Amino acid sequence: MEGDEAGVARARFLRAVYALAVGTDSLQERVGTAWLELMALKQGDLPAHLHEAFAVVEAELLAAPEDPATLAEEEAVAAAERILRLAIELWGS
């Protein structure tokens, strides 16, 4: 991961976390917005030690329903937690 890629990944995660934290939509819709922010990233945009965790988030967003509002509350909570944890790990690296 190079400097520019690191900055792009950090910025995308910042926007994803912002959407989760301050959005006024339902949690499911905020998760959908966060996924849209992260969709442009590739594993190579993150440090190697985060590839496995990102693969889980990436698989989840690729398998997500077209309408995030149809996510169960538990699924939305789990997805939001994974995004937040990955963001914290990324910013700490």
The model's pLDDT over 38-90, given as tens digits with 9 standing for 90+, comes to: 999 999 999 999 999 999 999 998 998 989 899 999 999 999 999 999 999 99
Averaged pLDDT score across all residues of the chain = 91
Domain ranges, ordered by start, for the chain? 3-92
* Torsion angle, alpha carbons of 39, 13, 15, 76, to 10: 70
Q: Full-prediction pTM beyond 0.85?
A: yes
Confidence check: pLDDT of 7 > 90: no
b vs e for 22-36, b when ≥16 Cβ sit within 10 Å of the residue's Cβ? eeeeebbbbbbbbbb
